[in-house]
Structure 1
């Protein structure tokens, strides 16, 4: 018995793999392309673990995926692999189409061929779990109800459109071929091992470096924030007991404006790692030009997951964000190792005030 986790060296995927070994000794084969956001250092604590294997490769490499499936005979494949940054998708949508749509198609084809060759009992037990985003639903107005699983898809960026397409492919493979699939759509994750291009790790990194804290527009864009380890626990529940062919929304019940999140981070850093000059970190906040087509609000209704599978987040935003800041303060070497010159050039281009 084993599982294959694609994109398992990225932010959410690596947290899932690490947490998996906190609850199970079932072997995990991690497949990751190891691009800029896929970092083997995220899994360094598993070095020497005979139950874990990291394989560098692309989900679009059908031959490689087929070989891994044939060799390890997993009972499940969990697909975290994706290009996931909206800003990067605006500047270069091609990679998002290739990985999130074409890559998912090739992965599904390889998994379908493997699943078709399994004995009846193993076919019945097999699962393909696809991890997706709330951004496929589009944007909400201030007083709109939160996204439920029945919301229509209205993606507004190349990233969210590519993820929406991948969700549709997964659904189609269940309805057309009977592939036993599950899909989760999550809200904004935060926590350890988050590459510092996203809001929370970027603000922590820039604050400690004495750099501006860039805020798009007026900073009133609202997101629902989900601590990554709560997300991992939800995925384990869906994998274990989710209804085949169904979608489950995973959210933190924590709607916050971006500017409020940054103020919270500044307050925590003032407490845990104060500036040498005694000034508050909020003095570093800088407002920059809003990004094109910026969605105003996301919110997830995760009540189905609680009602049917008994999951709800263990962390409040206050407890989760404190743990996150403490982790980054304790792991500055990890941050230093991934913030290469290429990354610095990207940030300078993206947040040019």
Structure 2
């Protein structure tokens, strides 16, 4: 099987590509523009595997997408390429509109042209798997039931609005043209190789630098946390077993407030890399909340578990400890990533007393 993965050098995409190459017999065509959040090093030894083919390209370039489909003749597409950071979408929504909406449109059209040219047997086996987010559903009150696949969309940020738009495009291409699509909506991911603008790697980095640990508002925002390797396994499972036209929610089954997450990280760091003078909780600072900040997300994954038999392997505790240990052992990677943008520090000097590895 030949699988074209967009965004395959990003955080979630690289985890998926590593698994596809190491745990299956698939050939992976990895298409990534390599923006600030894309990092070729996240692929590890997979970069050099004969079943990994890298193509540096922008999904918004329709002609280039058509060329790649003609060249590689994929049996499936897994579309992860997206702008994904809410704060960035608030300050610069244009890039999100371009990549998340127009990029999905361009890829859908290139995939439809390719799918239409396939012989009947291959056409029946082809799949277009679109990977999205729980943020398209809006926010929940504390007493509300978790999001299901039938929850009405109510996006709050430019990021979630553009992802909702891309979801609608994918469903329209299935309804109008018959393109065989699958959709998944996941909760907050965490794990190795995540760019340090997101909460968990940001807190780890700042704590070890002795810098403030910023928490929006009072830190009572609730998210469901999904370990990235579990997410990649779920994506593979849906591609192999999912029903055409079906949406599957993917959950880590780990609802936590942001403050609980930061306190858990501080507890792990106090144990694995203790500071000689203070506990890391001392660095916590509450900052003004961002505009339109959703209070709670929660996902009901009963369709995925009931129909396809998937459940996460990692608990929040086990996944978080693996994540902290990975960052403690991979400061070179973090240093290189931070050095790539002017807004990040160019040298990291973490407290290493007791650090794992």
- State the TM-score, normalized to the length of structure 2: 0.95
> Is 1:158–2:141 an aligned residue pair?
no
Matches of 2:56 and 2:188 in 1, distance apart? 26
Q: CA deviation at 1:62?
A: 1.3
Query: What residue number does 1:321 align with?
Result: 320
> Is 1:14–2:14 an aligned residue pair?
yes
- Measured against aligned partners, the alpha-carbon deviations of 1:280-327 in whole angstroms (never above 9, x if no partner) come to 001011111100010000000011100000001111100000000011
1:190-201 mapped onto 2 (5 Å cutoff) = 190-201=190-201
Matches of 1:212 and 1:45 in 2, distance apart? 35
Query: What residue number does 1:31 align with?
Result: 31
Query: What residue number does 1:350 align with?
Result: none
User: What root-mean-square deviation, in Å, do the aligned CA atoms of Structure 1 and Structure 2 show?
Assistant: 0.9
Matches of 1:242 and 1:202 in 2, distance apart? 35
Matches of 1:299 and 1:83 in 2, distance apart? 22
Query: What residue number does 2:43 align with?
Result: 43
Query: What residue number does 2:351 align with?
Result: none
The answer to whether the 8 A contact 2:5-2:30 is kept is yes
Query: What residue number does 1:349 align with?
Result: none
Q: CA deviation at 1:25?
A: 2.8
1:139-158 mapped onto 2 (5 Å cutoff) = 139-158=139-158
What's the secondary structure of 1:293's corresponding residue? Answer: coil
Matches of 1:303 and 1:328 in 2, distance apart? 32
Q: CA deviation at 1:276?
A: 3.0
Matches of 1:25 and 1:237 in 2, distance apart? 15
What's the secondary structure of 1:182's corresponding residue? Answer: strand
Matches of 2:229 and 2:85 in 1, distance apart? 20
Query: What residue number does 1:351 align with?
Result: none
Q: CA deviation at 1:37?
A: 0.1
- Where does the alignment leave 5 or more consecutive residues of structure 1 unmatched? 346-353
Tell me which stretches of 4 or more aligned residues in structure 1 moved more than 2 Å.
none
Query: What residue number does 2:304 align with?
Result: 305
Query: What residue number does 2:293 align with?
Result: 294
Q: CA deviation at 1:342?
A: 1.8
Matches of 1:42 and 1:343 in 2, distance apart? 21
1:57-76 mapped onto 2 (5 Å cutoff) = 57-76=57-76
Matches of 1:226 and 1:3 in 2, distance apart? 24
- Measured against aligned partners, the alpha-carbon deviations of 1:220-267 in whole angstroms (never above 9, x if no partner) come to 000000001111111111000101011000001110000000000000
Q: CA deviation at 1:13?
A: 0.3
Q: CA deviation at 1:166?
A: 0.0
Query: What residue number does 1:110 align with?
Result: 110
- State the TM-score, normalized to the length of structure 1: 0.96
The answer to whether the 8 A contact 2:21-2:52 is kept is no
1:98-137 mapped onto 2 (5 Å cutoff) = 98-137=98-137
Query: What residue number does 1:338 align with?
Result: 337
Query: What residue number does 2:91 align with?
Result: 91
237-246 or 37-46: bigger deviation:
37-46
Query: What residue number does 1:180 align with?
Result: 180
Query: What residue number does 1:282 align with?
Result: 281
What's the secondary structure of 1:83's corresponding residue? Answer: coil
Q: CA deviation at 1:209?
A: 1.0
Query: What residue number does 1:348 align with?
Result: none
- Where does the alignment leave 5 or more consecutive residues of structure 2 unmatched? 346-357
Q: CA deviation at 1:344?
A: 2.0
Matches of 2:173 and 2:165 in 1, distance apart? 12
Matches of 2:197 and 2:316 in 1, distance apart? 20
